[in-house]
């Protein structure tokens, strides 16, 4: 392993520069966008880090700018065509519609798949509340599709420890939420033979290999660096400062010895919301020094609040989204009452001017959940021309979400304690690849 970087009192700017190492073209993927991650843009409209997502635009975050600032790559048409070519299946609607819009090294993962070289999937969730909303399902829906396409092992990290550090939850509370959230995750349809869901608190003591990798990573990251990436200050508790290594460690295959043994060379693909990228920039940065391949990433955009894409969505604000526990009636009331409309004030005006899909939340939600491309396009045209009224558009979304949420509730109710125990038991996961040990 390489030496731990020398401690220094270098200015933050230096740390930021260090951390932009990953914006150099990757060895694994020479097509990676080489644009540095330094904030050169003077208009700081959008702010994105793992704890805060702010935009002033009703259209949501500026994806192109984020790609440039983070030094990631756009998921473009040729890449989607390659995905379709290797899997022989049509791309998921999240990919077709640019809801997953940015990536790191995904080309490389696809090439590995073509060559029958192993990789695994890694995603996670910070269990901060027992009421998950429909937006929380997005990374899991994507991951489930990827698991079906690639037929590879999947690890899902529940960072209950993170929630103790940031939200002050007791260990018991945080672990309870992790188990509750596990039910919602299992209800997404993951294959138990290929999926391991773990709580940090629990797994840390079960497999010393995991903790060992955390320590190896911690040795390679200085305080100066985490300050630069995450903006930690002198009065943040040391738990926060050390935590990024905990989220990085599942990207090392040997953290899962039951499946990979001591093998560190199997890379992972991480589907996540783009606000999690700082963790994985750090992970990719330390990877060569710790001796594991850089994880590949697929980044999603944010799911907008009912009140509009510029509003903060929060699990504690009942009215900001549709929760997985909402009744059909509640879904209807919430959408009718709170969903920000891009329609006009009166029917006459609407017929004349038409609606604005770019800011209309009911339309935005349909882009996430309506499977049929032609139907969605028809809705867009009709709403834009004024043929379709806001009430009609909302009714369409209401029906769809009522169905999705009811299906989810049914599947969740079928998740027994035994099923949870099985998903959370450290064990060898199946894979299409013969994993060499
Ligand atoms: N920090 C993430 C959250 O608060 C949870 C998480 C852990 C995660 N590992 C991950 C998310 C990997 C995506 C991918 O939600």
Q: Is the pLDDT of residue 14 over 70?
A: no
Q: Is the pLDDT of residue 361 over 70?
A: yes
pLDDT digits (tens, 9 = 90+) for 404-427: 999 999 999 999 999 999 999 999
Predicted local distance difference test score (pLDDT) of residue 242: 98
Distance 275 CA to ligand 1 centre (A): 10
Please give the model's pTM, rounded to 2 decimal places.
0.90
Q: Is the pLDDT of residue 69 over 60?
A: yes
Cβ–Cβ contacts within 10 Å for residue 196, how many? 24
Question: Rounded to the nearest 5°, which phi and psi values hold at 129?
Answer: -155, 150
Q: Is the pLDDT of residue 19 over 60?
A: no
The beta-carbon contacts of 367-370 under 8 Å, at least 24 apart in sequence, are 367/97, 367/99, 368/94, 368/99, 368/134, 368/138, 368/303, 369/134, 369/397, 369/400, 369/401, 369/404, 370/93, 370/400
Average pLDDT over residues 308-326: 86
Average pLDDT over residues 219-243: 96
Predicted local distance difference test score (pLDDT) of residue 313: 76
Average pLDDT over residues 389-394: 98
Q: Is the pLDDT of residue 18 over 70?
A: no
Predicted local distance difference test score (pLDDT) of residue 43: 53
Predicted local distance difference test score (pLDDT) of residue 25: 39
Q: Is the pLDDT of residue 207 over 90?
A: yes
Strand duo 100-104 + 73-74: pairing: antiparallel
The residue to mutate among 50, 53, 104, 123, having the most atoms of ligand 1 within 8 angstroms of its beta carbon, is 123
- The region of weakest confidence among 53-62, 93-102, 328-337 is 53-62
CA–CA dist 228, 18 (Å, integer): 9
Predicted local distance difference test score (pLDDT) of residue 15: 39
Average pLDDT over residues 134-139: 95
CA–CA dist 122, 195 (Å, integer): 10
The mean pLDDT value of the chain amounts to 90
Predicted local distance difference test score (pLDDT) of residue 414: 97
Q: Pick the residue whose CA is nearest to atom 9 on ligand 1.
A: 124
Q: Pick the residue whose CA is nearest to atom 8 on ligand 1.
A: 124
Residue 229 near residue 51, CB atoms below 8 Å: no
Q: Is the pLDDT of residue 10 over 80?
A: no
Cβ–Cβ contacts within 10 Å for residue 385, how many? 12
Q: Is the pLDDT of residue 4 over 60?
A: no
Average pLDDT over residues 63-81: 96
Q: Is the pLDDT of residue 174 over 70?
A: yes
pLDDT band at residue 436 under the 50/70/90 scheme: very low
Predicted local distance difference test score (pLDDT) of residue 24: 38
Predicted local distance difference test score (pLDDT) of residue 55: 85
DSSP 8-state code for residue 297: E
pLDDT band at residue 298 under the 50/70/90 scheme: very high
CA–CA dist 404, 415 (Å, integer): 17
Average pLDDT over residues 184-188: 98
Residue 54's DSSP bridge partners are: 47
Q: Is the pLDDT of residue 161 over 50?
A: yes
Average pLDDT over residues 130-147: 94
Distance 50 CA to ligand 1 centre (A): 9
Average pLDDT over residues 67-86: 97
Domain boundaries, the chain: 9-307
Q: Pick the residue whose CA is nearest to atom 7 on ligand 1.
A: 124
CA–CA dist 326, 51 (Å, integer): 25
Question: Rounded to the nearest 5°, which phi and psi values hold at 210?
Answer: -65, -50
The residue to mutate among 48, 100, 124, 132, having the most atoms of ligand 1 within 8 angstroms of its beta carbon, is 124
pLDDT digits (tens, 9 = 90+) for 29-59: 444 433 333 344 445 578 888 888 888 888 8
Q: Residues with beta carbon inside 6 Å of ligand 1?
A: 123-126, 157, 159, 162, 247, 270, 272, 276
SS3 299: strand
CA–CA dist 206, 426 (Å, integer): 8
| Superfamily designation of domain 9-307 | HUPs (3.40.50.620)
Q: Is the pLDDT of residue 79 over 80?
A: yes
Distance 122 CA to ligand 1 centre (A): 9
Predicted local distance difference test score (pLDDT) of residue 320: 92
Predicted local distance difference test score (pLDDT) of residue 44: 56
Which residues have C-beta within 8 Å of that of residue 320, sequence separation ≥ 6? Answer: 133, 305, 306, 307, 311, 312, 313, 314, 338
Please state, for a pLDDT cut of 90, what percent of the chain lies above it: 81
């Amino acid at each position: 392993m390489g030496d731990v970087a020398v401690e220094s009192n270098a200015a933050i700017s230096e740390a930021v520069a260090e951390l932009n190492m990953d914006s150099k073209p990757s060895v694994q993927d020479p097509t990676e966008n080489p644009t540095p991650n330094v904030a050169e843009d003077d208009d700081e409209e959008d702010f994105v880090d793992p704890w805060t997502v702010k935009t002033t635009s009703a259209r949501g975050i500026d994806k192109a700018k984020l790609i440039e600032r983070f030094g990631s790559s756009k998921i473009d048409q040729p890449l989607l065509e390659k995905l379709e070519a290797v899997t022989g299946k049509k791309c998921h609607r999240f990919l077709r519609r640019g809801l997953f819009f940015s990536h790191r090294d995904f080309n490389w993962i696809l090439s590995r798949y073509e060559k029958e070289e192993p990789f695994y999937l890694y995603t996670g969730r910070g269990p901060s509340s027992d009421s998950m909303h429909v937006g929380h399902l997005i990374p899991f829906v994507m991951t489930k599709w990827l698991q079906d396409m690639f037929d590879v092992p999947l690890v899902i990290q529940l960072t209950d420890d993170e929630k103790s550090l940031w939200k002050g939850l007791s260990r018991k509370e945080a672990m309870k939420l992790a188990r509750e959230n596990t039910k919602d995750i299992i209800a997404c349809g993951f294959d138990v033979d290929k999926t391991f869901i773990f709580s940090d608190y629990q797994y840390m003591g079960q497999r010393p290999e995991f903790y060992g990798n955390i320590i190896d990573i911690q040795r390679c990251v200085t305080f100066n660096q985490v300050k630069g990436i995450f903006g930690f200050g002198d009065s943040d508790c040391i738990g926060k400062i050390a935590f990024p290594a905990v989220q990085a460690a599942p990207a090392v295959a040997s953290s899962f010895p039951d499946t990979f043994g001591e093998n560190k060379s199997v890379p992972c693909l991480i589907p996540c919301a783009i606000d999690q990228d700082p963790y994985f920039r750090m992970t990719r940065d330390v990877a060569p020094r710790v001796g594991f391949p850089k994880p590949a990433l697929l980044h999603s955009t944010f799911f907008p609040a009912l009140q509009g894409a510029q509003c903060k969505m929060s699990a504690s604000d009942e009215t900001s989204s549709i929760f997985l526990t909402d009744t059909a009636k509640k879904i209807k009331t919430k959408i009718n009452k709170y969903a920000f409309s891009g329609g006009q004030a009166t029917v006459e005006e609407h017929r004349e001017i038409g609606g604005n899909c770019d800011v209309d939340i009911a339309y935005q939600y349909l882009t996430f959940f309506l499977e049929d491309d032609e139907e969605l396009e028809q809705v867009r045209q009709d709403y834009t021309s004024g043929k379709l009224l806001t009430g009609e558009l909302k009714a369409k979304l209401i029906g769809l979400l009522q169905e999705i949420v009811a299906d989810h509730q049914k599947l969740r109710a079928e998740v027994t304690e035994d099923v949870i125990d099985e998903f959370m038991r450290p064990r060898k996961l199946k894979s299409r690849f013969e994993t060499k040990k």
